[in-house]
Chains A and B, each alone.
Chain A
Amino acid sequence: MTVQGVRWTADQVLALAPDTASRRAGSRLGAAGPWSGAGSSGEGALWGLCKGSGSKPYRTVVDLADVSGPAYKCSCPSRKFPCKHALGLLLLWAGEEGAVPRAEVPEWAGQWIEGRRGRTERKKATVSPSGPSSGPADPEAARRRAERRAERVTAGASELEQRLADLLRGGLAAAEQSGYGLWEETAARMVDAQAQGLAARVRELGAVPGTGPGWPSRLLEECALLHLLDQGWLRRERLPEGLAATVRSRIGLPASADGPPVRDRWLVLAQYDTADARLTTRRIWLYGTQARRTSLLLSYGAAGRAPEPALPVGLALDAELSAYPGAGQARAALGEQFAPPASTAERPPGTTATLATARYGDALRDDPWLDSVPVTLDRVIPVPDGDSWQLADADEDAALPLTPAARSRPGLWRLVALSGGAPVKVFGECGHRGFTPLAAWPEGPGEVVPLC
C-alpha cells in the first residue's frame, strides 16, 4: 500500500487545518526552504525537520497510513492540531514530485510511528474479541439509569407541551415582544431535563421572530414540529420501532452506532464545520459506491479545536460504516478502515431537480423533522434570480432555489465560476428551505470542487 503514488492535492491538505490562521501559516511552510531531512517511507509516513525561530529545528512526523485518519506529531509547542509544521510538511509532499524523497525512517520518527501503530494494533486486538459484550458492566444499573433519564425527559416534554399551549393561547404576537428571554429560559429547562434535542429546537425558536416578513408562519411551523416531537416521545410505545428510535435521537438521547458494519468504497463528498460559542460540529458526507447510499459522519470538538476525523473532499476510503438507529437517519460511525484514504476521480451518480424534491418528500415519511436530504444533481446550471440564485435543471423547466445561507458563502461563486453558464454536477443538501450546494464537478473531466 503505497501512498506515494496518490499524492493529495493542496486543497485536500488544507482541509485538515483547524482554522484559517493555520491554513495560512501552513501554506507558508509548504516550500523547501525551512525543511531539512524531509523524507517519506513509501508506506504513508512523512517526516522532516522544520526550522523555527529557536535554535533547534522542530521534528515533525505525519502518519497517513493510519486507518483512523492522518496522525501527527511535532515537537513544536503549538496546541493547534495539526500544527502548521505538519500542514507545511504535507503541502511540501503534495506540491512537488520528489520534494519529500523516499528514505529510511530516522530513529526519532520511527519510534513514534512504531509506537503508534503498535498501540492501534493492540487496541484492535483487545476490542474485537470482547466487542459485543463491551457494554456496561452492570446491565441492571444501566437499565435503571436509562429509566430515570426517560422520566426526566418525559417531565421536560410535558412541561414544553404546557408552555407551547400557553404560547398559543396568548398568541404568537405576544411572543415577539418577549424576545429571546422566554426561549432561553425554556431551553435551559430542557437542558435540565437532559433533552438536548428539544433544547436546541427551543433555542432556534427564539431567533425566528427576527427573520423578517413571514415569521409568524415559520414560527408556527417550528412550534408544530416541536409539538409533534413531544407527542412522539410521550407516545413512543405506540410508534413503530424505527420511528421511535428516530424520536429518541431527535430528542437528544444518546445512541450508539450498532447497525451492522457495511464495508464499501466511500467517496468523501463534503466536509464542513459549524460552530457556536461552545461547540464545533463537523459534518462529513460519504457516498458508498456499492450500496449507492449517502451517509453522514458527525463529530464534535470543543470550541476552537477542529473535530476529528478530517477527511478531505475527493478522497475515497475503503472502510466499514455502522449506522445509528432510527428510520430515515443518515448518520453513521466510521469503523475499521482497510486502506489509507486515496484520491479518486470517481463521482456519485446524480438525479434531476424534480426527483430531488421528491426524495426529500419521501424521506419525511421516515423522519418528519428532517430539514434536508443529501442529493447529487446532474446537469444543473446556477442561475441568478433577483437577489438570490437557483440551480436550474438544464433539461427541464425546474429549478431549486438556494438556501439563504448558501447565497452568502464564497462557495457560491466557485460554483458559478466552475459552471460558466454550462451544466455541472452538484452535491448538496435539498430541503424545505432550498438547496445548499456542497461540492461540484465540471461536466467534462476535472476534479471535485469543494464549495463549503
Chain B
Amino acid sequence: MNRTVTAAAPSGPHGTAPSGPASHTAGPAGASGVSNASGSSGSSGSPLPDVWEDLVTTALLGTDRRTPAGSASGANAPAALLDAAAVATLRRRAGMRPARAAEHPRPAPEDPRPELPPAAARRLTMLLTDRSGASGGGRRGAAPDLLELLPQWLAAANAHGFAAPPPALPALLDAARGRTDLRPAVLRFAGPRGLWLARLNPDWRFALRSAPGGGTSLPGPGDTERILRLWQEGLFAERVALLSSLRSREPAAARELLATTWATERAEDRLMFLDSLRTRLGPDDEPFLEQSLADRSRNVRATAAELLSALPGSALAHRMAVRARACVAVDHTGDAPVLTVEAPHECDAGMERDGVVAKAPAGRGERSWWLGQLVEAAPLDTWSRRLGGRTPQQIVALPVGDDWRSELHAAWCRAAVRQRDAGWAQALLGEPSAAEAGGPGAVSLAERAKLLGTLAAAERAEWVAGFIGTHGLPDAFQLLGVCAVPWAPPLGRAVVDALDIARDAGNYPWSFSGVMGLAERCLDPLEAGHLDALLAVPDEAEDASPGAGGYWSEAFQRLVTTLRLRAAMLAELNPAAQP
C-alpha cells in the first residue's frame, strides 16, 4: 500500500544507493509521500528508520519527558533534536528513489477515425467552456447560448466520422454526465478511448451503462458461444444490451435467444426483453408474440398484443379488425351518409386474451373504453373496405353520430401512430389552416405532434408552416419540436414572420423564448441574411410594452449570431470545404 516515493540510504549523493526501492516501508510518515524506509545509514551505522522513529517519538512526548538516544539532554535538547531531525529530513528527501510501477492499464483501443480539423477542435473547446454556465441565470443578452449548440456540433462531427481530441474527453464526459440527452452523441464521438477513460473514473460510470454493450465489448456476430454465456450469466443490463444489439443485427437470432430462457425469466425482465423486440419487428415474430398472449403477466400480455397489432398481417390484427368493423358502419338513411357507432356490449375472454383491458379507468364509460382499444389495434386499411371504398380523407370527413366523433378519431390517431400510416395521419391532421386545427378540436396538440412524426420531413414542415401561418406561435412549440433540423425554408420563414408579427403586436420577447430558443437551434443558417431588417431597434409604438423594442432587437441579434455561429461551426467540420 505504501507505494510512494521511497527513500534509499544516500551513501553518496545518489550514485551508489541500492538499486530499486527499499522493501521496508513502515513508518509514521507513510502517507505523506516520504517514507523513512532505508537500508543502512551512511555514517552512524544505525538503521535510519529507528533514528527517525526515535526522533518523532521524542518530539511527540517532549524532550522534558524523553531524551533521544545519544543526544544531549537539558536546555539544549530541543535544539539538538531539531538539528538531528533536519539532517534526517534532508537525507531522506535527497535520497528519494522512484517507487515501483503499479500494473499498467491496458492501452486504449486504436481509434481509426480521422482527427478533427484544427478550427473545429478550437470550436469544441469554446463550446465546452460554456458548459457550466448554461444555468448561470440572468438575462441572456445578445450572446448565443453555446451549450445548446453542442448537440448539433456533436451530430455533425459524428456524421463526418471524426474522432474526439483526447484532451477534450473529460469535459465531454462531464457534459454528458449532467445531461442524459447528450449521452448517445457524446459516447459515439468519444469512441473507444472515451469508454476506456470512463472505466477509470466512477463519475463517468454512466458511459458503461449507456454505451452499447454496457462497456464490456459485446461478442461479435459469429461468437455464438460467448453470446450464449453472456445471456445466461450476464447482469440484467448486460443482457438487455446484448439482446438489443443482437436484435438490430439479426432480429431472428435475438428472438430465438430470448426464447431459450423465456419460461424462466422474471415477469419484469420478460417485459423489458419483450420491449426490445420493437426494433425491426416483423411477421416472423408473430408466433412468439402470439404465444406470449397467454403469458402469466398482464403487462407482458398487453405488450405482446400491442406489438402484434402493429403487424397488420397478424392474426391478432385480423381478429381486432373483425371486432372493430362490427362497431362502425355508414348510415345512408339520412340526407347525407353518417357514421354510426355501436360500441361493444361486453369484453369477452377472447378480447381480453388479445390485450383488451376490461376495466376502464375511473371516469370513462366501459363501452367507449373497449371501443377505443379495438379501433386502435385494428389495421387501418380495414376501414376503407368496410366504409364503401372511401379514402382516409373522406372517412375522417364523415359526420359521426351520437357524439362518438372524438372517441373514434382519437383511436384512429393512436392507430395511425402505432402503424406509422402517413396517409391516415395526413387525413387526421386535416388542413393546417382549418379553424379547428388551432382550437381544442378532436385531435389534441400532443396527438398532432405524434401524427406529424409519421409524415415525411418535408410534409411535416409544410404542415407546421401552414399551422403557424394561420394560428401564430402560441401553440406551435410542441409541433416545431418534431420538425427536422434545419427547418425547411417555408417553415423557417413562417416562424420568422410570426415572430415579427408578435413583436409588432407589442409583446415582450420572453413570452416566446421557447420558440426563440428552438429557432436559434433549428433555423437554417442560410436564413441569417433575411433577418437583418429585424435587428434595428424600432420606434416605440404607443401601445407597445415599454422597452420591448430593445429586447426584441437583442433577441433577434442573438438569433442571427447563433445562426452565423452554426454556419461557421458546420463549415469547419466539413473537410471538403476546408481550403
Which of B62, B104, B565 contacts A169 (CB under 8 A)?
Answer: B62
Which of B65, B196, B537 contacts A420 (CB under 8 A)?
Answer: B196
Contact A224 B89 (CB under 8 A): yes
Contact B102 A32 (CB under 8 A): no
Contact A27 B126 (CB under 8 A): yes
CA distance A51 to B558 in the complex (A): 11
- Please name all residues of chain B whose beta carbon is closer than 8 Å to the beta carbon of A21 when the two chains form the complex: 133
Complex interface bits, B23-62 against A, C-beta within 8 A gives 1, otherwise 0: 0000111111110100000000000000010011001111
Contact A224 B99 (CB under 8 A): no
Which of A9, A356, A392, A417 contacts B166 (CB under 8 A)?
Answer: A417
Say whether A228 faces chain B, with CB atoms less than 8 Å apart: yes
- Please name all residues of chain B whose beta carbon is closer than 8 Å to the beta carbon of A360 when the two chains form the complex: 93-94, 96
Q: Smallest distance from the beta carbon of A228 to chain B beta carbons, Å?
A: 4
Determine the interface band of chain A, counting residues with CB < 8 A from chain B: 35 or more
Which residue, of A223, A227, A361, A400, has the highest number of chain B Cβ atoms within 10 A?
Answer: A361
Contact B64 A170 (CB under 8 A): yes
- Please name all residues of chain B whose beta carbon is closer than 8 Å to the beta carbon of A364 when the two chains form the complex: 90, 93-94
Interfacial residues of chain B within 364-382, with CB under 8 A of chain A in the complex? none
Instruction: Flag the segment in B136-144, B219-227, B254-262 that touches A.
Output: B136-144
Say whether B119 faces chain A, with CB atoms less than 8 Å apart: yes
Assuming the contacts A28-B143, A168-B78, asked whether A383 and B62 have C-beta atoms less than 8 A apart, the reply is no
Contact A385 B3 (CB under 8 A): yes
Contact A24 B86 (CB under 8 A): no
Say whether A381 faces chain B, with CB atoms less than 8 Å apart: yes
Instruction: Flag the segment in B105-113, B206-214, B323-331, B502-510 that touches A.
Output: B105-113
Say whether A255 faces chain B, with CB atoms less than 8 Å apart: no
Contact A10 B125 (CB under 8 A): yes
Closest B residue to A222 by CB, please name it. Answer: B89
CA distance A167 to B142 in the complex (A): 62
- Please name all residues of chain A whose beta carbon is closer than 8 Å to the beta carbon of B55 when the two chains form the complex: 220
CA distance A108 to B77 in the complex (A): 73
- Please name all residues of chain B whose beta carbon is closer than 8 Å to the beta carbon of A31 when the two chains form the complex: 143-144, 561, 564-565, 568
Contact B89 A30 (CB under 8 A): no
Say whether A111 faces chain B, with CB atoms less than 8 Å apart: no
Contact A361 B13 (CB under 8 A): yes
The A contact surface, by secondary structure, is helix
Q: Smallest distance from the beta carbon of B475 to chain A beta carbons, Å?
A: 30
Contact A417 B97 (CB under 8 A): no
Interfacial residues of chain A within 229-285, with CB under 8 A of chain B in the complex? none
Assuming the contacts A31-B565, A416-B200, asked whether A390 and B77 have C-beta atoms less than 8 A apart, the reply is no
Interfacial residues of chain A within 1-44, with CB under 8 A of chain B in the complex? 9-11, 14, 20-21, 23-25, 27-34
Contact B89 A221 (CB under 8 A): yes
Assuming the contacts A168-B59, A414-B167, asked whether A11 and B125 have C-beta atoms less than 8 A apart, the reply is yes
- Please name all residues of chain A whose beta carbon is closer than 8 Å to the beta carbon of B253 when the two chains form the complex: none
Contact A168 B82 (CB under 8 A): yes
Contact B61 A173 (CB under 8 A): yes
Complex interface bits, A340-364 against B, C-beta within 8 A gives 1, otherwise 0: 0000000000000110111011101
Say whether B244 faces chain A, with CB atoms less than 8 Å apart: no
Q: Smallest distance from the beta carbon of B402 to chain A beta carbons, Å?
A: 59
Contact A400 B5 (CB under 8 A): yes
Closest B residue to A31 by CB, please name it. Answer: B565
Q: Smallest distance from the beta carbon of A380 to chain B beta carbons, Å?
A: 10
Please list the residues of chain B having a beta carbon within 8 angstroms of any beta carbon in chain A.
1, 3-5, 10, 13-14, 20, 27-34, 36, 52, 55-56, 59-65, 77-79, 81-83, 85-86, 88-90, 92-108, 119, 122-123, 125-126, 129-130, 132-133, 136, 141-146, 166-170, 193, 196-197, 200-201, 537, 554, 557-558, 560-562, 564-565, 568
